[in-house]
A and B are shown apart, each in its own frame.
Chain A
């Protein structure tokens, strides 16, 4: 097909006016130099910690040196997977609580968020209750929940559900509301039903908000699991912390905290990966504009 007409020639990709799709990441990837710097920084912090404790004569029970913590970690993981005194067992318990609580709490939060946004009158009726319940520190409910549900996994899952429910509920409602009025008009002009409008614009528009809520919920899940285990549990990393402190084994406590941090980091990283895939269409953060972007 020839383009011998009055108007434009076909616009090639390299002409200004189209931009090549930038890499679908939330941040620019770490360069090797940055990786090396990060490792050096970590080594420096650990080195200072070790030296500081050993040289200052601080009691090793108050602030264990890195080497003690490393030993405790090794001992903890150098056990059979099902051994009740090993870190594998307790990590598995805590992880399953976190996972179940996060998924159930988020799904219920999202589901109720959808219902509340789609039925107009419901939001006005429900918001005072949501606000009130949000203000109650769920952590303070932990003892009651343990009384209701016992020392097993279910009480911890329940606590985590309560903690994850609210951020996902509130952010999803905000997200559904924040949809562009123009997009709704577009769907209306196509005679879309209310659920079609939801499916084709409201829900996709709300996803960035929902993910913000999920990120918060992920952080709360870890806290919720540990606090729940503090209040009443037979097993889990929180229980390990209590046991270690009862035995004045602060290296053990710190070691468990390291494990919890790793779990937290892994959870957040996994969530971020999912977020990047789902939200691949979002433009790069324009607040980070530089000479190169």
Chain B
């Protein structure tokens, strides 16, 4: 894999999932949301997960975040088995979930308050992060004064405040318009390159998955299984123009074909 950007790579099995299955509901009734998921994620890499509705990608992310318990299988993060939420994980949800009664700065500092981190350092870091996501000047505004894209950038800053090693993102740009979305993809790539975190991002959008990911995990529904892992061999940092690259087109076509096999209209 050729990269034009040097980045520290770590262990290839930094995140490891083995034989993971998740069942909702009791006994005979209920839904098998995930079946026998096996994969590993390299430290410092950017993994995107794409799949049709109901393929269990959100369930998988919530299990990784420790928000959802799982029945069978193993989920291991940096050598430790995950059973519950962890401080070294940051989560970005589909909506920004900024607390409306707090200013942007106070919102970004929330993890420090909850985790009991020193407030002064946290404030400095919050200001740096707001600068990094290009929201300087908006620290003392209320969330409702910001546009959707700006709110989501604030929630990304918040997710990074406590310096988690892993960033989990559940369709973070789903509620934004297409142009904002493209800009946010570029921003996120820049933030990832600057911070060197391991990122797992869920998306509905095949082009977004291919644009952002080092590898794309393709999932199919009923039950949710990991169909395929597709490495994306495009240099970093990628620009919008890469969407015309034949490698890009081949990747999206390959994934789309997988979708039409796996998904059915319902």
Binding site for B on A (CB under 8 A): 5-8, 10-11, 13, 17-21, 180, 182-183, 185-192, 196, 200-201, 204, 281-283
In the complex, the answer to whether A188 meets B114 with C-beta atoms within 8 Å is no
B228: Cβ under 8 A from any A Cβ: no
Q: In the complex, are the beta carbons of A17 and B101 less than 8 A apart?
A: no
Docked complex Cα distance between A11 and B147 (Å): 10
Which residues of chain B have a CB within 8 Å of any CB of chain A? 65-67, 84-87, 89-91, 93, 95, 97, 99-102, 110-111, 113-115, 134, 136-138, 141-142, 144-147, 149-150, 162, 183, 186-187, 190, 239-240
Q: How far is the CA of A10 from the CA of B135 in the complex (A)?
A: 8
Asked if B142 and A21 make an inter-chain contact with CB atoms under 8 angstroms apart, the answer reads yes
Contacts of A19 in B (CB 8 A): 144-145
A-B contact list, 18 entries, CB within 8 Å: A6-B239, A7-B183, A7-B186, A11-B150, A13-B137, A17-B146, A18-B147, A21-B145, A182-B97, A185-B93, A186-B91, A190-B110, A191-B85, A191-B86, A200-B99, A200-B113, A204-B101, A281-B100
Residues of B within 8 A of A8 (CB): 134, 183, 187
* B107 CB, min distance to chain A CBs, angstroms: 10
Closest to A15 in B: B147
A187 to B187, CA, bound (A): 25
B contact residues around A13 at 8 Å (CB): 137
Cβ contact of A182, chosen from B93, B110, B111, B138, cutoff 8 A: B93
Q: Give 5 nearest A-B pairs by CB, closest first.
A: A17-B147, A189-B91, A281-B101, A191-B85, A190-B114
Q: Chain A interface secondary structure, helix, strand, loop or mixed?
A: loop
Interface on chain B toward A: helix, strand, loop, or mixed SS? loop
Roughly how many angstroms separate A138 CA and B190 CA in the complex, as a whole number? 64
Q: Is B101 in contact with A190, judged by CB distance below 8 angstroms?
A: no
Cβ contact within 8 Å between B87 and A183: no
Q: How far is the CB of A148 from chain B (nearest CB, A)?
A: 42
From A6, A185, A281, contact of B186 by CB (8 A): A6
Contact: B99 with A204, CB < 8 Å? yes
Task: List 4 extra interface pairs beyond A18-B145, A189-B65, A201-B99, CB under 8 A.
Answer: A190-B111, A191-B85, A204-B101, A281-B144
A5 vs B193: C-alpha distance when bound (angstroms): 15
Q: How far is the CB of A127 from chain B (nearest CB, A)?
A: 26
Q: Which of B91, B141, B150, B239 is in CB contact (< 8 Å) with A21?
A: B141
